[in-house]
């Protein structure tokens, strides 16, 4: 019984290319009480591996969070399988606007303490007492209301390349950091403002909305299905698109273009750019924004030092890495000191105080 991958990413990519069939990039989540996450994890792996599903899935006692790549030919079988599971029947599937057959190259189903690392003690509040879900039309109305505070629940490297008009974009590295910061800075507006939140697919807002209601916020709203679902609704219903730039995604594509605006800059030369790249040096892998010119000049590396290491024969690189962990820079997501045009730290609530 195969419960783990037996092909490398390279071997899987070759098979996908040889098959020549389209794949769909899909994400979904569901909060539910799962008694035995390990058993549930094994069940999902067996079923999805047979359907040639690839992706990154987290399972916990509180539910499931999935980003997947599914062969278009197998989509209905995949959907039928989800519908056999009570809490996943008719679950909303966020289907990507832009597809890449190589978005995922392995099937990874992992058991975690939580499906999103939020740092919260869920026993202290009712996680089912969530904010009001709004569709794209209602969302557009709300964010034009002067009585609304619109908050981006994503991290700085996500909002750096794209965001909604008039949104407050917390300058944080993790979701858990943003929760107390937002609460503190909006404490005077718990009753007199609409707190409207959005994220990539909705999962972070699902927990955050319950948290803020517990903290005394009276009018809490969240964008149903996040940015991914918003864009699809805008296109289907002919609504005004109020998202500017690109939507960061957590697969090999790294982003989907939503508007033609380029709102970020290359971290190396400062020219307009919004393409994230991972440093080619295996010992670094820093995620940062790099324009095409710098990508060519720096050979996909974040620094001259990394470029020199990356030019060494593989065995020499491997020897240099022996016993060495990745630098803490990898967690800075584009804020490493050696990047001259990295995003500056700033007061995230300057919008409120103008």
**Annotated catalytic sites, by residue?**
199
Selection from 184, 175, 235 nearest residue 202 by Cα: 175
Please say whether the beta carbons of 279 and 288 come within 8 A.
yes
SS3 per-residue string spanning 25-84: EEEEEEECCCCCHHHHHHHHHHHHHHCCCEEEEEEECCEEEEEEEEEHHHHHHHHHHHHC
- DSSP string across 223-260: ETTHHHHHHHHHHHHTPPP-EEEEEE-SSTT-EEE-SS
Does the CA dihedral 222-139-28-104 come out positive or negative?
negative
Please say whether the beta carbons of 295 and 247 come within 8 A.
no
Does the CA dihedral 167-168-171-176 come out positive or negative?
negative
Tokens of 128: 């089912």
């Amino acid at each position: 019984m195969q419960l783990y991958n037996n092909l490398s990413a390279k071997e899987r990519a070759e098979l996908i290319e040889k098959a020549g069939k389209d794949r769909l990039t899909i994400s979904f989540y569901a909060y539910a009480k799962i008694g035995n996450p390990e058993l549930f994890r094994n069940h999902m792996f067996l079923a999805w591996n047979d359907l040639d599903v690839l992706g990154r899935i987290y399972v916990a006692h509180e539910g499931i969070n999935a980003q997947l790549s599914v062969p278009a030919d197998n989509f209905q079988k995949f959907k039928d399988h989800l519908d056999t599971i009570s809490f996943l029947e008719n679950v909303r599937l966020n289907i990507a606007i832009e597809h890449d057959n190589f978005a995922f190259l392995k099937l990874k189903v992992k058991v975690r303490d939580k499906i999103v690392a939020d740092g919260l003690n869920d026993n202290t509040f009712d996680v089912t007492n969530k904010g009001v879900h709004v569709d794209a039309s209602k969302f557009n109305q709300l964010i034009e209301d002067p009585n609304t505070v619109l908050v981006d629940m994503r991290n700085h490297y996500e909002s750096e390349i794209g965001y909604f008009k008039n949104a407050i974009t917390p300058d944080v590295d993790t979701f858990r950091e943003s929760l107390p910061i937002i609460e503190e800075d909006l404490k005077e507006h718990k009753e007199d403002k609409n707190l409207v939140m959005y994220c990539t697919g909705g999962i972070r807002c699902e927990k955050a909305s319950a948290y803020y209601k517990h903290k005394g916020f009276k009018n809490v709203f969240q964008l149903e299905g996040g940015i991914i679902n918003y864009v699809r609704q805008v296109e289907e219903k002919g609504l005004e698109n109020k998202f500017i730039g690109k939507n960061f995604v957590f697969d090999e594509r790294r982003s989907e273009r939503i508007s033609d605006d380029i709102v970020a800059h290359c971290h190396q030369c400062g020219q307009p750019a919004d393409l994230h790249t991972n440093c080619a040096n295996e010992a670094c892998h820093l995620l940062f924004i790099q324009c095409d010119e710098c990508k060519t000049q720096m050979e996909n590396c974040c620094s001259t030092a990394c470029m020199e290491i990356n030019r060494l024969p593989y065995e020499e690189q491997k020897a240099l890495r022996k016993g060495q962990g990745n630098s803490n820079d990898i967690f800075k997501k584009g804020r490493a000191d050696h990047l001259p045009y990295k995003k500056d730290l700033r007061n995230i609530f300057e919008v409120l105080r103008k």
